Structures are given as structure tokens and as C-alpha cells.
């Protein structure tokens, strides 16, 4: 579906100074980089510079193994926080679920169609409900029941399992457990959650019930990176839809499912396409 | 613009019981009511019934002066909370402003075009900034500077002034003062405010700054009836628009203005067209 | 997910006359009907009356077998075009696909979760591409390759197969063949299609390419009943999303998929919940 | 409202070649340009490069009078189509109206608040209806009644009048006359129109009536540059809102007004902020 020609993707964040764009574009130009996409952003309040560069690997003057080393001096000069990715390397993604099936089916159908460039080596759940969904797609399903007492130990096992599989990113597809700090720390800015409200409205449990009680006329969903503070992480994508007094809580839940799966998949797509940068608990999304 | 044939509008709220629709529609039928619009809603959780009926005054079997009396027995039987309005009676509306001009211009241009069926006998402000706007439309502008010390006394004078002019409804068009309970109590469910966020997110002051800091991807505006609890009143209408990391707080404010004026005018329109009912701090909007 | 208590659903369309609401509500009232939902609409231009009534089967004064007969005199009096459904009868739905997998996965996951009350006895396609998707859900997959020469004969076989399975409704989930009149006539207002544009903009083939070329800033999708005239059938639901000059045709296609699956599933839901009525090539959607 | 520090804005379009970004950013860097905003876009299909640069006049190494000359060699080298603007130069804008008042009030209130950086030396109309609106804001109102026979002559006079006033841009704020080619040619890509539909759906007259008849579930509005072909010009901005079977044509018109004024004002804002580029009948909008 996407171009089959592999690209290199460079994500840069650094203090804003004159000359960054000039020198970075010169680096690519002198190495005959065929630029596919470039986007940049300056946050004047934070005096922070952000950039995303994508160029074709083929024809570039530096072999893919040597790009990082060649770029390092420039990165050092401008004190860059930077990462280099290649579009033909599909990251391994673990999906966590509990009971609701819509987000996982949406993710897996997009993976199958090629829209989401990822491998899904395993699905983890605290309940058995969605084992059939995992089975349908032939993906190993690992059950980790969680209680207050077992949470730390179970999460520890989960982290080991994720590491064993070389998992880079975790997607919480309506996973109804709060992660402890050990899990969050193990995957910094690499755990994506879907919250079923328009954050920061209605954080926590049962947002649709709260929204109905408040009498809102629009409901929403939010995909975000998971941080220590529940529902406080950097927002990647949000979506909304209209509701009215005719809609019951059940209708809110039904309409919300459309948002949840779309907004989560969009967040995951942006992450996998290396289009997100996090700074000061906010995202720059090169969408 | 709208039909020039006057209509009677009946708004009903009562405990839900079998037979309400049957008897109310029979009342209209036997008096040859030419129904223009009918809408109803049952809230099963609250066991509450809501209805809006609109029919032509011309040809109705009961003269407009006698409709209320003729309907009273039915209303009593079903313990209705009800109101009767006539579409050709334009309510008097006072507009409160402070500094921002967009909402008042939008309201007045819609009044001039006939979209908003209201008279605006006066504009009240705590600052002089928008006197020129009032002058442009030839509407008396009353200045009531407010300090902590003078608020009670000034509001008292405002209430007297509003009553002298026969004002039915008050619209806070970006009025940057919190009303005290004496004002709220004087116009129950008849003061409409615009809050520049997607409530309940970002209540209180400077919502765009808070929204920017939180890194949201969508901003909103909310028109609502004013109650004692600031920003907690029944929501009439909400609107949203997309933002990105490219948008500064100033951009949030600029984009938000579009929402504010549209959402406030929509709330006022619904109110003036007698399409709103309030129950348990929620609105039924027969939109 | 939905209430397990079965309901009767009555859909009515007839010329508007005084007394319809009064008599219909009386019919339910005198038989102790516990109304769950009622909605009505009058189209003054067409002088047409539409109504949807839903009430609990349990406790109703007439047994479900006898309701139709009991209601017939009233229907005759007002010249009603009417249908009676029961919520616990799940219609059989056939899904037609070609290559794109997103709509069928979305439909099947919603069927599995109980959101869409239907049985899917078979999937039909003109290509083999999506057989694996059908297999994942254990649904028989029938291949009917279509050429200009074979279309009539193949469609005839399809109709026979659909009838053999007692199929009530056909969903075209990105089925890339135009149906001939024999198929359309066999399922009047019971074939639902998703068109990947905001109709009536960009009918026909390759709408995303046309939209990109025209430089639109918003794209859409439309679910509609299929009629003889391609892309001209009554619209059930529409959705839109923003695009910019940054989006290529591929981006249009990717963003459009979100709309297509959501808008198609919404159209199917409305149809299965008996919330749609068709008159003069327009739908009344009791949403 | 906006920063009071003047900026230079450079808009560039040229064939895409390696080195453009590198050399342009070097030009600014070596002259100590304090960049406020930079955005670029490459259309691979058209092999076309687009860029918008904004930097502070104060502190720049070249005085504002000499910037154009200093940049010319670079522009020539890359065969650029380019324009240089300064943010503190407010263009003169003429507004054309007919009967509807909402768009002109919205434009003038935004001009008054400082959101739209423009001067409005005159308002032109083919009818007298909106003279009072012009009077309210103290803007000269020029009446040019148009008939088939007089159109060419009247337009000629209008063009002379616009030139006498040094008008740069013309805004058609619900002006109900089709411009002939002499007017369009006199202001290439400098006439902005609002069409009250979601183009390309429902071009031409009475789009709300057509939309209602087609039974759409969403209506829209489109602001675009005016070209010879009616409703075919490059789209700047679009907006949409939901409608249902409950909405009459009058409701479409009422809801559409919200869109029209918002979408037109947004289009004018983007134009005045020098955020639009036109190529191959499409716009690049650096929004």
C-alpha cells in the first residue's frame, strides 16, 4: 500500500538556535538525499526546535549502517535529542486487552491490510474473554490475571515476556488495569492507551456515565502515551461525536466505540510512522 | 425568514405515565389543532416525560387567551410542569459584555436578520470597551463597573434595570464577571453563558491557556444556563474544532472565537424558540 | 449489551392527517403497551407522516402473533405503509466484498460483540482475496467471479443462494461491482452500500483521486440504500474528516477507510434496529 | 492581539530540486534572520516545491527596502514564483454583498477586533438592502445595480473604483451575481467567494434546496478563489455540519449561515496572513 522504497526517518528535538535547518538540510543535500518529507516546528515559549526528516535509503551517499555515525557531530553541536528509524523495519507491538473486542479487531485488520507496519507477536490480557479473537488471527494469547496482591509480580512476568519477544511498543486496547510505575518505566513513551473520554474531561473510571450525567452534547476519545499519572500522559490524537438527550448511557458507549477504535489506531499509526515527538508532556505530531 | 403564521408552543415536563401522549394529542385533535411540530422524550432512569408541541394559532378551536385555562385540567391530572408560549411574542433580552466583540456582533446581526426573535432593549457592561458596538446598533449601553466591594450593590441596580425594561432573558456574551446568587435567582434558567472550553474540561479562567498546556488536539466551547455553581449549569450546546502543536495559545483563542459565537448564538436560538427544557441539571433540546 | 427484553417495533408511513398520533397512541395505551421509544416526523412539503414505535412484548395486551391483525384496521383507515418487527428476531445478512478488508472486519467484530443484531450465513465475493477473513470467522465464502458476459448469470445464482439462506439484507462492504436491476429489485431498500465519497460529490469510480485533484479540504463517506441509479440511492449516514495539501491520494484513502467502516456500520445498525424509513428517495432516520 | 513586531513573509513556489531549503535557509541564517515561522511542502506528482517563511524585520541584516533585490538571484537560480509581504502593511479589501448580512457583519467585527488585518475602504452591492450595515460601520456603500445588459459596463466602473481606492483583494460576502472574466482577470487569485455548499457537491444556485432534496445528512460551505469557471476555483477552506430529516430547507439555510460566515472569514484570514499559494487550481494552505 505504501511505497515499497525504504526510507530513513530522523526525529530531532533540541534547543532552538539559528542555523539548525540550514546545516541539517545541507547534510542531506551534500549526500544526495532524496527527501520524501520534511516537517519542522518551533515552540517559541519553550524555545524548542523539532524536526522530522524522511528520505530514501537508495541513492543516499551514506550507507544505512553509517548514517547515525555520520550525523552524530551535527547532533552533538546542536545538543539534539534524536532518533533514526528505517521504514522497512517493522517494530514488534504487544496488545493488551480485557473484554471489549472492537479496538483489537481494528488494530489487527489494519495490520493485516498493511496500514499498520508492525508485528504482533503476542496478546496479553487479565481475562480470558478475548482469547477467541487472538485465536482467529493466530496470535499467542497470554493470560495474566491481576489482583492488588499479584499485580507487581504479574507485571514483572509480563515485562520479561515482552522483552523476550523484543517488543518495542505496547498498545492498551481497552485494557482495564492501571499499570504500575515499573511497567511505565520499562517502556517510556512507548505505551499507548485509549481513554474513552475527551481528556481532560472525565478521567478515571466510567467516563460515559459521568458524561451522560453531566449532560454533555459531545463525547470524545483520547489516545495518549502512558505516564505515571493516570490519564495525564501526552495526548496523541482525539476524536469527538455528537450526542443528544435522546442518547442513553448505552448509546454513549456504542457511539464511543467508533471513536475509540479510530482514535487508538490513528495514535498507533502516528507512532509507528515515527511521526510523534514528546516534550514537556505534550506531543508534536507530524501528521 | 420564518413562517409568519403565529404558533402556540407548549413545553411539558412530568412524571412518565401511560396515556400522556394519547390525551395530549387528543386535546389538540378535538380542537382542530394544526400541528407544526411535535417532539417528545422519556428519560427512563429519571422516569420523566418531556414534550414540545407547536401548532398554528389560526384555526385552533380555542382562542389564544383561553388555551392555558383549557389545558390546565390535563396538566393537573398528569402533574405537569408546563409553559405556553406564542411565536409572535418576541422576548426582551439583555446582553452583558466586557471586552470581546465577536459574540455581541454575532447576536445583533442575527437579531437584525430576523433569525433570533428577540428585542434587545439594553446592553450592560462592566467596562466601556464595547460602547461603540452598542452605538453602532443604536442600543442603550449601561456601564456598571464591578469591584468586590460594589458587586452586590451594582448587581442590585442591574436587576432593577432589567426588571424596568421587562427583560425575560439575559445573555452573557463573554461577560467576564461571576454573577452572584441574587442575579442567578432573579432569572432561573433564563441566563445563558458561553464558556470558552469544552466543559467539563477546563472550567474557570483562561481555559485556552490550560488547554494548550495540556496539549489537547481539539478545543471547544459550551453554552449553558447559569446556576449558582460556576460552569456547572445545564449545557445547551457545544462545539469543537481541531488544533495541533502548530497552534499557539493565540491561535487557540482565534479559533475558539468562531466556536464561541456560533455556540452561543445556537444556545440563544434554541432558548428563544422554546426548544429547551431543564431537568436534573440536564437539558432536553428539541433541536 | 442491549436490553434482553424483547420489543415490538412498528414503522409507519402515511399521508399526514389529523388524529394519527392520537389514535395510534390510544391503541397502545388501551393494550397496556409499555412504550420504550417513540419518534415521529411530518414532512410538510410532501404532506407525509412517519412514525416509529417501540414497546415491550411482555405485558402487552395482545400476543405477538396477533398484533399485526389487531393493528390492521387502524393501518387501513390511515392508508399506512407499515411494518412490524420484533427485536429478538435477528435478520440474516449477506456481506459482499472484493479486496478491502476493513469494512468486513468492522461488521463482523460488531456482530460478535452483539452491537449488530444479525446472523451472517455467508460472504460473497468476486475475488478470492478476502477468503482468509471469512475463514477467520468461520463463515462460508462463496466466489462469484464477474465479467460483463457472466454478470447476469452469476447474479442470478447469487440471488438463488441468498434466497436459499433466507437472507433479508445485503451489505456491500466495498464490493467493487455494480449490481444489475435484477439484484436491486430482489432486495428493495434492503441492499446497503458504502460509497467512499461525500455524495453527491464524486460519484462513480476513484472518488479519492477526484477529490485530491479538486483540492478539497474535507473528504467523506456515504452509506445508502442501493437503487437502480448508481450512487443515487437514499442516504442513510454520512461522515467526513479533514484533509490538507499535505495529504496525498494515499493519505485520502487511508483516512477515508476510517470513515467508510464507521459510516457503513452505522448505516447497517440503523437498518437492523429498524430505525430507517424511505420515502421519495430520502430516508427518515430515527437515530 | 498579534505580535506588534513586524515580520517579512516570503511565499515561494518553484520546481522541486535538491538544495532549495538548504540555500534559502542559509540566506536567512547569514543575514541573522530571526525566523518566526517556516513551512514547506513538496507535491511529488507535480514535482513542485512550496515554501512560506516568516521572520522579524527588526535585526535582519538587510533593510526591508533591499530584501527583494537581495533575494532575487536565489529566486532566479531556482526559477521561483515568489512574493514578499510585510505584516504591518494592511491590504485594502473591498466587500461585495447583496442581501444576506451575516458574512459582512462577521468580516467587519473581525476587522474591528484586529483579527483580520485589512482596511475596508468601500462596500459594493447590486442592491440597497445592506446599506444600513455599511452605515453602522461608517464605510462608503456603492450601489451598482446589475442587469444582463448593464453588467459589462457596471463591472468596468466597479473595477475603476476598486483601482482608485488601491484595492488589493475582493471578498464576495454572499454577493449574488456572477462575475464576468474582466473582473476575474483584474484580480487573479485575489477574489474570494463563499459558496453555500460542500463543493463540488451542489454547485450553482439554490444548493440548500438541492441538498435537502437529495437527502444529505451533512451540509457544508466552501470559500475559494474565483476563476472563470463558476464554483470551480481553488478551494481555501471548507466546513460542514450535521443535518437530519427533521431539518427543513429553512433549517439548512439557518445552519448553513454559521458555516458560511466562519468558512469565509477563515479563507480571508488565511489570504491576508499570506498563508495561501495556488498551483494547478489547488491551494497550498500553510494553516
pLDDT digits (tens, 9 = 90+) for C194-209: 999 999 999 999 999 9
Write down the mean pLDDT value for chain C. Answer: 95
Q: Provide the phi-psi class of A114: left if phi over 0, else alpha when psi is between -120 and 50, else beta.
A: left
Query: What's the half-sphere exposure (Cβ side, CA atoms, 13 Å) at D97?
Result: 24
Does the pLDDT value for residue B237 go beyond 60? yes
| Distance, CA of D40 to CA of D27 (rounded, Å) | 16
pLDDT for position C210: 97
Judge if B169 and B234 occupy the same domain. yes
Q: What CATH number is attached to the domain comprising A14?
A: 3.30.70.260
**A287 CA to chain B: closest CA distance, Å?**
9
pLDDT for position A1: 38
Judge if A109 and A82 occupy the same domain. no
Residue B127 covered by a domain: yes
| Distance, CA of D193 to CA of A195 (rounded, Å) | 41
Closest CB to C109: pick one of A105, A113, A246. Answer: A105
- Domain final position from A86, A105, A136: A86
Does the pLDDT value for residue D3 go beyond 60? no
Judge if D75 and D114 occupy the same domain. no
8 Å CB contact of B19 and C40 = no
Does the pLDDT value for residue D2 go beyond 90? no
According to DSSP, the β-strands at C169-172 and C92-97 are parallel
Among residues D103, D90, D82, which one has the least CA distance to residue D167?
Answer: D90
Judge if D261 and D281 occupy the same domain. yes
pLDDT for position D1: 38
Is residue C80 within a helix (H) or strand (E), and if so which, with residue range? Answer: none
| Distance, CA of C144 to CA of C152 (rounded, Å) | 11
pLDDT for position A45: 82
Query: Sheet of D81-86: strands edge to edge?
Result: D35-43, D48-56, D7-15, D81-86
Q: What is the pLDDT of residues C38-48, one digit of tens each?
A: 899 988 888 99
Would you tell me the crossing angle of helices C249-272 and A249-272 to the nearest 10 degrees?
A: 160
Judge if D126 and D255 occupy the same domain. yes
Residue D264 covered by a domain: yes
Residue B159 covered by a domain: yes
- Domain final position from D61, D86, D111: D86
* Residues of chain A scoring pLDDT < 50: 1-2
End-to-end CA, chain C: 18
Residue D2 covered by a domain: no
pLDDT for position C132: 96
Range of the structural domain that residue B38 is part of: 7-86
pLDDT for position D22: 87
Task: Calculate mean pLDDT across residues D250-270.
Answer: 97
Residue A1 covered by a domain: no
Q: What is the pLDDT of residues C163-187, one digit of tens each?
A: 999 999 999 999 999 999 999 999 9
Q: What is the pLDDT of residues D16-75, one digit of tens each?
A: 988 898 899 899 999 998 888 889 998 888 899 999 999 999 999 999 999 999 999 999
The sign of the dihedral angle between the CA atoms of C108, C110, C114, C118 is negative
Task: Calculate mean pLDDT across residues D85-89.
Answer: 97
Among residues of chain B, what percentage have pLDDT more than 70?
Answer: 99
Q: What is the pLDDT of residues B49-97, one digit of tens each?
A: 999 999 999 999 999 999 999 999 999 999 999 999 999 999 999 999 9
Q: What is the pLDDT of residues D223-234, one digit of tens each?
A: 999 999 989 999
pLDDT for position C11: 98
Q: Which residues contact C159 (CB under 8 A, 6 or more apart)?
A: C182, C183, C186
Judge if A105 and A187 occupy the same domain. yes
Judge if B99 and B239 occupy the same domain. yes
| Distance, CA of B162 to CA of B233 (rounded, Å) | 22
Closest CB to C258: pick one of A108, A112, A262. Answer: A262
Write down the mean pLDDT value for chain B. Answer: 95
pLDDT for position D112: 95
Q: Other C-beta atoms within 10 Å of A266: how many?
A: 20
Residue C107: all three cell numbers together: 461488521
Q: Report chain D residues whose CB lies below 8 A from the CB of A42.
A: 35, 37
Residue C2 covered by a domain: no
Confidence of residue C230 (pLDDT cuts 50, 70, 90): confident
The single residue of B37, B39, B164, B231 carrying the catalytic annotation is: B231
Residue C1 covered by a domain: no
The residues of C carrying an active-site annotation are: 231
Give the count of domains, chain B.
2
Q: Which residues contact A232 (CB under 8 A, 6 or more apart)?
A: A203, A281
Does the pLDDT value for residue C2 go beyond 80? no
Judge if C23 and C155 occupy the same domain. no
Please classify residue C119 by burial: count the beta carbons closer than 10 Å to its beta carbon, then call 0-12 exposed, 13-18 middle and 19+ buried: middle
Residue B2 covered by a domain: no
End-to-end CA, chain D: 18
- Contact, A184 vs A217, CB < 8 A? no
| Distance, CA of A274 to CA of B3 (rounded, Å) | 56
Write down the mean pLDDT value for chain D. Answer: 95
Confidence of residue B37 (pLDDT cuts 50, 70, 90): confident
8 Å CB contact of A40 and D35 = no
Closest CB to C102: pick one of A109, A133, A246. Answer: A109
pLDDT for position C1: 38
**D282 CA to chain C: closest CA distance, Å?**
5
Global pTM reads: 0.96
| Distance, CA of A144 to CA of A125 (rounded, Å) | 6
Is residue C82 within a helix (H) or strand (E), and if so which, with residue range? Answer: strand C81-86
Judge if A105 and A77 occupy the same domain. no
Q: What is the pLDDT of residues C46-93, one digit of tens each?
A: 899 999 999 999 999 999 999 999 999 999 999 999 999 999 999 999
8 Å CB contact of D105 and B106 = yes
Q: What CATH number is attached to the domain comprising B206?
A: 3.40.50.170
The single residue of D231, D247, D251, D258 carrying the catalytic annotation is: D231
| Distance, CA of C197 to CA of C243 (rounded, Å) | 13
Give which of C25, C48, C49 to mutate to test B binding, by max B Cβ within 10 Å.
C25
Judge if D75 and D96 occupy the same domain. no
| Distance, CA of A125 to CA of A113 (rounded, Å) | 24
- Domain final position from A69, A86, A103: A86
Judge if D220 and D194 occupy the same domain. yes
| Distance, CA of D7 to CA of D30 (rounded, Å) | 17
pLDDT for position B1: 38
Q: Other C-beta atoms within 10 Å of C132: how many?
A: 11
Q: What is the pLDDT of residues B104-148, one digit of tens each?
A: 999 999 999 999 999 999 999 999 999 999 999 999 999 999 999
| Distance, CA of C48 to CA of D101 (rounded, Å) | 34
| Distance, CA of D245 to CA of B247 (rounded, Å) | 37
Q: What is the pLDDT of residues B60-71, one digit of tens each?
A: 999 999 999 999
Judge if B36 and B108 occupy the same domain. no
Bridge partners of residue D39, in order along the sequence: D52
Task: Calculate mean pLDDT across residues D82-91.
Answer: 97
pLDDT for position D46: 85
Return the residue matching grid coordinates 485556552. Answer: B208
Does the pLDDT value for residue B272 go beyond 70? yes
Q: Which residues contact C206 (CB under 8 A, 6 or more apart)?
A: none
Phi/psi of residue A215, nearest 5 degrees: 75, 35
The sign of the dihedral angle between the CA atoms of C71, C77, C78, C83 is positive
Q: Report chain C residues whose CB lies below 8 A from the CB of A110.
A: 102
Helices (H) and strands (E) in chain A, counts: 8, 13
| Distance, CA of A55 to CA of A28 (rounded, Å) | 9
Q: List the single residue in A with minimal CA-CA distance to D242.
A: A242
Task: Calculate mean pLDDT across residues B153-158.
Answer: 98
| Distance, CA of D244 to CA of D286 (rounded, Å) | 34
Question: If interface means Cβ-Cβ distance under 8 Å, which residues of chain D face chain B?
Answer: 1-2, 100-102, 105-106, 108-110, 112-113, 115, 133, 136-137, 246, 250, 254, 257-258, 262, 265-266, 287
8 Å CB contact of C100 and A109 = no
Does the pLDDT value for residue C114 go beyond 80? yes
Task: Calculate mean pLDDT across residues D193-221.
Answer: 96
Q: List the single residue in C with minimal CA-CA distance to A256.
A: C262
Q: List the single residue in B with minimal CA-CA distance to A284.
A: B245
Amino acid at each position: 500500500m505504501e511505497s515499497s522504497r525504504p526510507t530513513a526517518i530522523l526525529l530531532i528535538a533540541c534547543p532552538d538556535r539559528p542555523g539548525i535547518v540550514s546545516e541539517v538540510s545541507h547534510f542531506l543535500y551534500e549526500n544526495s538525499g532524496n527527501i520524501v518529507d520534511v516537517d519542522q516546528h518551533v515552540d517559541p515559549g519553550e524555545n524548542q526546535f523539532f524536526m522530522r526528516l524522511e528520505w530514501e535509503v537508495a541513492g543516499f551517499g551514506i550507507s544505512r549502517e553509517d548514517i547515525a555515525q555520520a550525523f552524530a557531530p551535527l547532533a552533538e553541536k546542536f545538543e539534539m535529542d534524536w532518533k533514526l528509524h528505517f521504514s522497512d523495519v517493522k517494530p514488534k507491538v504487544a496488545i493488551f486487552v480485557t473484554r471489549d473486542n472492537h479496538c483489537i479487531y481494528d488494530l489487527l485488520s489494519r495490520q493485516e491490510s498493511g496500514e499498520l507496519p508492525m508485528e504482533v507477536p503476542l496478546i496479553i490480557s487479565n481475562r480470558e474473554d478475548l482469547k477467541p479473537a487472538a485465536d482467529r488471527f493466530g496470535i499467542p494469547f497470554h493470560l495474566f490475571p491481576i489482583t492488588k496482591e499479584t499485580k507487581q509480580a504479574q507485571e514483572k512476568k509480563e515485562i520479561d515476556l515482552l522483552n523476550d519477544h523484543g517488543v518495542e511498543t505496547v498498545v492498551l486496547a481497552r485494557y482495564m488495569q492501571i499499570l504500575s510505575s515499573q511497567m511505565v518505566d520499562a517502556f517510556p513513551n512507548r505505551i499507548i492507551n485509549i481513554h474513552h473520554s475527551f481528556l481532560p474531561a472525565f478521567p478515571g473510571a466510567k467516563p460515559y456515565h459521568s458524561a451522560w450525567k453531566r449532560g454533555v452534547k459531545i463525547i470524545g476519545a483520547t489516545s495518549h502515551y502512558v505516564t505515571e499519572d493516570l490519564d495525564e500522559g501526552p495526548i496523541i490524537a482525539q476524536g469527538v461525536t455528537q450526542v443528544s438527550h435522546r442518547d442513553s448511557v448505552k448509546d454513549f458507549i456504542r457511539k464511543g466505540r467508533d471513536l475509540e477504535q479510530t482514535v487508538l489506531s490513528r495514535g498507533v499509526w502516528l507512532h509507528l510512522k515515527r511521526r510523534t515527538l514528546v516534550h514537556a508532556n505534550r506531543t508534536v505530531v507530524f501528521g
